[in-house]
Amino acid sequence: MDEKTERILKDRLKEDDFQKLEKIENSELHQFIAEYIDICNPESIFVCNDSPEDKDYIRQAAINNGEEIKLAMEGHTVHYDGYFDQARDKKRTKFLVPDGVDLGPNINAINKNEGKKEIHDIMKDIMKGHELYIRFFTLGPSNSEFAIPCVQLTDSSYVSHSEHLLYRPGYEEFIRQGKDARFFRFVHSEGELDERNTSKNIDKRRVYIDTEDGIVYTMNTQYGGNTIGLKKLAMRLAIHRASKEGWLTEHMFVMGVHGPNNRVSYFTGAFPSLCGKTSTSMVDGETIVGDDIAYLRKRDKKVYAVNVEKGMFGIIMGVNSKDDPMIWKRLHIPQEIIFSNVLLKGDKTVHWIDKDGEVPEKGINHSGDWFNGKKDDDGNEITPSHRNARFTISLDTLENIDPKIDDPEGCLVSGIIYGGRDSDTWAPVVQSFDWTHGIINKASSLESETTAATLGQEGVRKFCLMSNLDFISIPLGKYIQNNLDFGNNLDNPPLIFSVNYFLKGKDRNFLNEKVDKYVWLKWMELIANNEVDAIKTPIGYIPKYEDLKRLFKEVLNTDYMKEAYDEQFLIRIPELLAKIERIENIYKTKVPDTPDILFNKISEERERLIKAKEEFGEYITPDKW
């Protein structure tokens, strides 16, 4: 390391912490750490080398400094973010771009020099009086072509503890890669704290992302989506890198679906929030590799995927013993878990929205002392837990963990699923004609409806490109083209499916039960292995009634009626044509670099639907094909 770097590190670190850094032969890493120690000016510094003692130090620090509160059950703690710091700050999340670079109208950006000056001004002495925790992690399995080393600088013991549960240890990977490590960097400070140990200067909350240099800066916030750098913030860095190198970073679960004769076929799936993503990856009887972010690479003309993480930062609202038995069981055993923004009861247990049992009359939550009927300054009732309350666990504590979770080779992908909340258009499960049809007419046409419970007005359709719109760090047209190109030169590429768990009938009641997804998964596994046939329609291939009838009996022990099948798999031409109109308009008006093939493919689907309408009418049952 150079003289200035060595002087800063030796002056500010204890000898054993300095030696931990010195073992990593990477001068760029040392310079980065020294620069931000100098700018942020922490009171003390702790370097974690992933030893049990070092990890326990951070766990205890979270308790000692009040960022987490111990609960009655061993290993359980609860953390609170500030009342106005409960979600990703989209407005103040910006990409730092050099002069002359334009990421397009859909991406929030700021000039790199201007943004870096602003963030450095905010960061000056921001850690004064705080302890800085320096952590090393790996995105993807260690010692693998998927692995990306990461260094996290944070003065929040809660953030550091969370990342310990969510990510694979990386200290040894940094030593292994040495000077060749191409690592991501994250600097976070919770800033000045209030009397509840929550970030005080929310007006100076910033999340700035430098994709060229692979750095994320996040200040004056504690909420995990803004601070746990290796999650969606690192995802933006990885999308940028993947675009240059020919692989994919996607907002997808990875799961094993179990077929006949002990066969396991691996599927990835992309769903917007509250559309069934985690519940699908946790279906009883199948195995989970990951529930949120996947890297996909090609090898030997096949597609392989890994879970970027090793933990789960899950929304807890609505989790109950009936609908989520695996998660429910995990939340009630004495294994390490961090609850955030739930209701803390007097007996040191917690409650959340729609948990089994009665709603307590009082407790402590993200608003402070809480009582049933409490309202905020605007007269809105404050729920016992926040609607975005979370739980953080390590996946290896789940009973249904798949043995391939840390396989450096990844999982061979048989199918890719795209799903959203759709009351009247898409059928429950449809296979695309081919890779291009799937990427354009399923993935790039994904919409999801809002719910009154979470976003105010019910039924508002939101465009959500591949369930990744909020995190894309390159022009949208380029992102679509990358996905199209990824399908080139593949032997038997993964099948692409659309799913919809939220279809409603004329009476506005759901046509599907929550557990029906068990059957759709089994059917997708069978067709991916050429064990069932399908019916060709203008929008793709749908299941045959006989196959679903058998699967409903085998999987759920229920009788599946022909009337239900006909209504669920009805081809709703007016709604499908209206959807095409909406999607086409979005790309014509908001995505200036849209590939021409997208307009061609959606026009072809429109023509197929119009032709079918002329022959069969506006609403077509499966027996017509």
Please tell me what DSSP assigns to residue 504: B
Other beta carbons within 10 Å of 540: 24
Distance between CA atoms of 403 and 399, rounded to whole angstroms? 11
Residue type, 354: D
In terms of C-beta density within 10 A (0-12 exposed, 13-18 middle, 19 or more buried), how is residue 361 classed? exposed
Distance between CA atoms of 458 and 358, rounded to whole angstroms? 27
Distance from the first to the final alpha carbon of the chain: 70
Contacts of 604 (CB under 8 A, 6+ apart): none
| Of 217, 234, 213, residue with least CA distance to 92 | 217
b or e along 416-429 (b: 16 or more beta carbons within 10 Å of the residue's beta carbon)?
bbbbbbbbbbbbbb
Instruction: Enumerate long-range contacts of 91-95, CB under 8 Å, 24 or more apart.
Output: 92/205, 92/206, 92/207, 93/207, 93/208, 93/209, 93/226, 94/206, 94/207, 94/208, 94/209, 95/208, 95/209, 95/210, 95/211, 95/236, 95/473
CB 68 within 8 A of CB 62: yes
Other beta carbons within 10 Å of 104: 16
Tokens of 18: 């300095």
| Of 470, 500, 551, residue with least CA distance to 280 | 500
Distance between CA atoms of 273 and 294, rounded to whole angstroms? 16
Residue the block writes with tokens 């083209």: 481
b or e along 543-577 (b: 16 or more beta carbons within 10 Å of the residue's beta carbon)?
bbbebbbbbbeebeeeebeeebbeebbbbbbebbb
Contacts of 2 (CB under 8 A, 6+ apart): 27, 31
- Whether the CA torsion 40, 43, 48, 52 is positive or negative: it is negative
Based on C-alpha coordinates, what's the Rg of the chain? 25
Instruction: Please tell me which residue in 40, 48, 150, 275 is annotated as part of the active site.
Output: 275
Q: Is 48 a catalytic residue?
A: no
- Whether the CA torsion 556, 560, 565, 567 is positive or negative: it is negative
Distance between CA atoms of 216 and 207, rounded to whole angstroms? 7
Distance between CA atoms of 202 and 224, rounded to whole angstroms? 15
- What is 347-396 written as a DSSP string? TS-EE-TT-SSPPPSEEEETTEEEETT-B-TTSPBPPSS-TT-EEEEEGG
SS (H, E, C) 160-180: HHHHHHHCEECHHHHHHHHHH
Distance between CA atoms of 241 and 99, rounded to whole angstroms? 20
**Looking at the annotation, which residues are catalytic?**
275
